[in-house]
Amino acid sequence: MKTQIDQTGGYDARITLEEPSETHCSCVGFAPKAKQTHEGLVGIFVNWAHEYPVIRLQIIASRWQPEWPTYQVVRTAAEELFLPVIKEYNRRNRTRYRVRIETQEETLPKLSPAAQKAFHQFAHGANQRCLHPLDWQRFYRFVRVCYATGNSPHEEDVAFFLRKAGFESKYADTIAQVFMHCRDFYIHSDPRRESGWRRRNRPRNFREEQQ
């Protein structure tokens, strides 16, 4: 892929290889040489060993236009960046790779029903300006339920849920940081939970090989 991108002459490409491991992956990043609407626009092909032959695509920019781009803005940029490269790759190699871009709904973070219920009990009964002790108790329960039901929301996902529930953006970010600290403490404070967490987050193929 890198060789072909180099041969087109319109991009700068770079390859990154990780040492073999249970989460081994290789990446090819490329950036258009011509000036773009979005500053520092880069496309990345990500090949996780445990997901082969699926190749994931990522797109990043140091500055988007507008600064907070909509789903459609990012989607259009991704199509304009990736589709010509993939089309040319298929032509030269007689392959039939296709691009599937998640719908806007699919990009939204989700919780399992049990975790969603615990979050609702916390968020919709809480003092959203300043959490009270009972609010924190319900919040801690949400952390525990997330772990017990296999939910692993990222910090920005938790902040998204909080803002959607009515919390101010800055306070939502603060509580989301607390969520991550609480979850990490809960996991690592018990060797059994820590061991289970590591097993749960190993790539599927790696887990199957260990059985």
pLDDT at residue 202, as a whole number: 56
**Predicted TM-score of the model (pTM):** 0.60
- At 125, which helix (H) or strand (E)? none
What is each CA distance from 206 to 102, 191, 203, in whole angstroms?
A: 26, 21, 5
Q: Is the pLDDT of residue 44 over 90?
A: yes
| 42-48 β-sheet, strand order | 11-17, 25-32, 42-48, 56-60
The mean per-residue pLDDT over the stretch 38-53 comes to: 85
Dihedral, 62, 64, 65, 69 alpha carbons, nearest 10: -170
- Residue with the bigger pLDDT between 208 and 148: it is 148
Contact between residue 44 and residue 31 where contact means Cβ atoms under 8 Å apart? no
What is each CA distance from 72 to 14, 69, 109, 133, 184, in whole angstroms?
A: 27, 8, 18, 42, 35
What is each CA distance from 50 to 46, 131, 169, 202, in whole angstroms?
A: 12, 42, 37, 10
Q: Is the pLDDT of residue 173 over 80?
A: yes
The mean per-residue pLDDT over the stretch 22-47 comes to: 86
The mean per-residue pLDDT over the stretch 33-48 comes to: 90
Band the pLDDT of 19: cuts 50, 70, 90: low
pLDDT at residue 30, as a whole number: 92
pLDDT at residue 133, as a whole number: 96
CA dihedral over 203, 209, 210, 211, signed as positive or negative:
positive
Q: Which range is least confidently modeled, 11-20, 67-76, 110-119, 183-192?
A: 11-20
- At 44, which helix (H) or strand (E)? strand 42-48
Among 18-32, 85-99, 159-173, the range with the most confident prediction by mean pLDDT is 159-173
| Residue 111: partners with Cβ closer than 8 Å, 6 or more residues away | 119, 146, 151, 153, 161
Residue 184: helix, strand or coil by DSSP? helix
Band the pLDDT of 68: cuts 50, 70, 90: confident
The mean per-residue pLDDT over the stretch 9-16 comes to: 80
Structure tokens, 162: 């909080």
pLDDT at residue 206, as a whole number: 40
pLDDT averaged over every residue in the chain: 86
What is each CA distance from 152 to 108, 115, 122, 184, in whole angstroms?
A: 14, 10, 18, 11
Q: How many Cβ atoms from other residues are within 10 Å of residue 5's Cβ?
A: 23
pLDDT at residue 18, as a whole number: 55
> Could you tell me where the DSSP H helices lie in 94-203?
104-107, 113-123, 133-148, 155-165, 169-188, 191-200
